Structure 1
């Protein structure tokens, strides 16, 4: 099948850079396969109406990036972009060799490094100067909010650009949402085991964080109703799709039942759906079920690339003035440069392609954990960035964490995620993406499983 070259009208000055970038993206996203033969310089020039010199410069750039190579007498072929490369952004083990399975981060490989480097080169050569010189509008440039609307629609969230604010990731969005929806002294409801950032922010903002009991599907509607009636809550924070320490996807019927309770008690819902792009066909988000009272948070950090700290906040229009005021007070605006990269990747399909790749890579890590933790009390999901291991009787969490460190493995202590610090939980969260190397991850998983099964 002939290789599909970019249409001439999509190329911008400088033409060689734009052509090289388009071919690179086609290679990295699989539209041009490894080992495939490229047309000759003359054929490309004739098809696109370019000079041979321009095409040669584009091919030279791709060759310098080790994406294509010439074979004498045969032509130019796409090479394996991963051959002989170390993982980019490699989380190099500290000098003591500690493997970090405590922080929840996505996996990455050389394509992430190349895509980001190319995106930065593209910004330098092609981006509007406002990306570098302006920090307004405070809620994000129009093109960036339009891209946010497109990305959110891909995630199942209906959001017109005027309801979108660009953020520096989900943690930034959560700070904006909590400060806009509450006042010091207000009650905020959350899962009994929740995200540690929620615990920290409620403490910083002087909010009373009250846990709500749940089961394997999430918060129980009757427990939520009781908490609303007894505590006089102002807001509830939900983690419905893989974002909580215990990775689960809340079924749609549970979401609808909770939505009815929340409507009756007139609560603002803060939906942290940072991990939702990793889920395959997830249920409708709360933002789709009750858009008039939900602040929805999304980010690229968990599903696309660890360092792309850009996200989107969707809020009812009535909360827009409060969100704007908090944005100005907390950060003035999100970083336009990263927002521009995110917008470009949304528009050309790179963001969704990387999220799909991440989902497949995580499934392999989940299979490793399923084998290692057979017979253990653990919760995982093929699309999750972490798993939750409940320790057998006799183990205290602090002791297990200390013993794991003696094996050069760091895990996240379960008590860090408690909405009520007086509760007790002997469990740990284990990151599936914290170690880039597959054999090292398998070894760490087996060591943790052996440790958990040791009699105490």
Structure 2
């Protein structure tokens, strides 16, 4: 996959030469006891998060109906919940969203379960890109749904590959992460989205859109949920723009009738319900404008952390964006992904090999994803990147020497 920027906010760094702040940090960090994780795509804490949480909890404690958060289920969300959600989603969709299309869930993964069951039955086929979020395949296979792979390029899913798969497999749906794709950070262009929609309409294929990173990205196209609402099951949550402790997700169905059919099918199965206290806190933040401030703070922190991370990657090819929570490193000709993972683990730094994102085991892949949001602080991120960068630079020099 080549490194090509596709918008003013997109940034694919190829062989960066920034000077790290502390070239001795790699050695110093080897004695660290507690491991630093660069595995999970957790957003960094914005500067005002602690106080915003305190203020929100104080406001909830003053509510005259606080006892309802303990005594009542939220089911798919109240009318007020969906009104708040519709207003928030409207900012992303760049148009009004019918509240009747919205189902509140206990996060994005619960929304995936509902969406999959709504578009496919056991034995049916759903398409994914050759690199994608591995959790989606697990959910599909648990429901007896087959997954097939289509090729990607620097703009995401290839239309020709999609159309060929439609003819070959007669799929029920296509799963996409078109905005800050996990793990590549690709943002699919508007032109590509429109072409995908055209093919999906032609073959009657639904689109399941995972947009959990969408609100972090600036100057990006509208989601499929807005471009083709009649065929799209749009998924988002607050786990990647606030934190995974905010267990609230939104599933936007193609229309109100589809949402109601899904609710009828899953009624009484409480594992996917959003927790009432989480919903109340989210509603409070949405109404007060605090949510937008939190997201802006997370975005700004991501930009700062991207600068820290990239300065340790001199001579290494990678792809990312300033507003992404991770980087996608190409290790070809430098070091095997498993060797890098092992060497970093021996120095108390945990990272994930790129192969876990591959949907085709035959796909030649020697990459890793580095997450910048999970370390507790910028200093902790720099300490971790010093280790990763040190291993990579040592391997790169060895590879160059071997060629000579």
Whether the 8 Å contact between 2:155 and 2:192 is mirrored in structure 1 is yes
Q: Secondary structure at the match of 1:430?
A: strand
The residue number in structure 1 matching 2:7 is: none
CA RMSD of aligned residues (A): 1.8
Tell me how far 1:389 sits from its aligned partner: 0.9
Which has the higher mean CA deviation after the structures are superposed, 96-105 or 301-310?
A: 301-310
CA distance in 2, matches of 1:268, 1:127: 43
Deviation at 1:394, TM superposition (A): 5.4
Per the alignment, residue 242 of structure 1 pairs with 180
**Conserved 8 A contact 2:129-2:157:** yes
Please say if residues 327 and 333 of structure 1, whose CA atoms lie closer than 8 Å, have aligned partners that are also in contact: no
Of 100, 103, 107, 2:44 maps to 107
Give the stretch that moved more between structures: 346-355 or 243-252.
243-252
SS of 1:139 mapped into structure 2: coil
Task: Point out the more displaced range, 417-426 or 362-371.
Answer: 417-426
For 1:268 and 1:96, how far apart are their aligned partners in 2?
Answer: 48
Matched, 1:150 2:87: yes
Q: 2:362 and 2:214 mapped to 1: Cα distance?
A: 30
- Measure, in 1, the Cα distance between the counterparts of 2:33 and 2:120: 44
| 1:254–1:332 distance in 2 versus 1, CA, 3 Å | closer
CA deviations on 1:152-180 (whole Å, 9 max, x unpaired) are 01112642111111111111111111122
Once residues 365 and 272 of structure 2 are traced to their aligned partners in structure 1, the CA distance between those partners, rounded to angstroms, is: 39
Counterpart contact for 1:176–1:323, Cα < 8 Å: yes
Q: Give me the whole-angstrom Cα distance separating, in 2, the residues matched to 1:332 and 1:189.
A: 24
Q: Does 1:164 align with 2:102?
A: yes
**Pairwise CA distance, 1:121:** 2.6
Q: 1:314 aligns with which of 252, 257, 260?
A: 252
Radius of gyration: which is bigger? Answer: 1
Partner of 1:290: 228
* Partner residue, 1:121: 58
Say which of 346, 357, 379 aligns to 1:406.
346
Secondary structure of 1:372's aligned partner: coil
Runs of 4+ in 1 over 4 A off after TM superposition: none
CA drift of 1:357 comes to 1.1
CA offsets, 1:74-126, max 9 Å, x none? Answer: xxxxxxxxxxxxxxxxxxxxx93211001110011563222223322322221
| Residue number among 204, 214, 219 corresponding to 2:142 in the alignment | 204
* Correspondences of 1:47-446 after superposition (within 5 Å): 96-109=33-46, 111-126=48-63, 128=65, 129-136=67-74, 138-156=75-93, 158-316=96-254, 317-324=256-263, 325-326=265-266, 328-329=268-269, 331=271, 333-393=273-333, 395-446=335-386
Matches of 1:306 and 1:334, distance apart in 2: 13
Q: Deviations over 1:405-428 (max 9, x none)?
A: 012110111111122234342211
Q: Distance in 2 between matches of 1:284 and 1:403?
A: 41
Task: State whether residues 218 and 240 of structure 1, in contact with CA within 8 Å, keep that contact through their aligned partners in structure 2.
Answer: yes
Count residues in correspondence. 361
Identify if the C-alpha distance between structure 1 residues 428 and 176 changes in structure 2 by more than 3 Å, giving closer, same or farther: same
Give a deviation string over 1:6-41, Cα, whole Å, max 9, x none.
xxxxxxxxxxxxxxxxxxxxxxxxxxxxxxxxxxxx
Q: TM-score, normalised by structure 2?
A: 0.85
Structure 1 residue 228: deviation in Å?
0.9
Q: Secondary structure at the match of 1:407?
A: coil
Change (3 A) 1:393 1:338: same
Contiguous gaps of at least 5 residues in structure 1: 1-94
Unaligned runs of 5+ in 2: 1-31, 400-404
Q: Any conservation in 2 of the 1:243–1:274 contact (CA below 8 Å)?
A: no
Task: Supply the distance in 1 between the matched residues of 2:82 and 2:338 (Cα, whole angstroms).
Answer: 44
1:275-301 per-position Cα deviation (integer Å, ceiling 9, x unaligned): 001011220111111100101111111
Q: Matches of 2:91 and 2:304 in 1, distance apart?
A: 24
Contact 2:110 2:272 in 1 (8 A): no
TM-score by length of 1: 0.76
C-alpha displacement of 1:243: 4.1
Indicate how the Cα distance of structure 1 residues 411 and 334 shifts in structure 2: closer, same or farther if over 3 A, else same.
same
The answer on whether the counterparts of 2:334 and 2:392 sit within 8 Å (CA) in structure 1 is no
SS in 2 for 1:331: helix
Residue 213 of structure 1 deviates from its aligned partner by: 0.5
Report the CA distance shift for 1:164/1:393 in structure 2 as closer, same or farther (over 3 A). Answer: same
| C-alpha distance in 2 between matches for 1:202 and 1:393 | 35
Contact 2:126 2:175 in 1 (8 A): yes
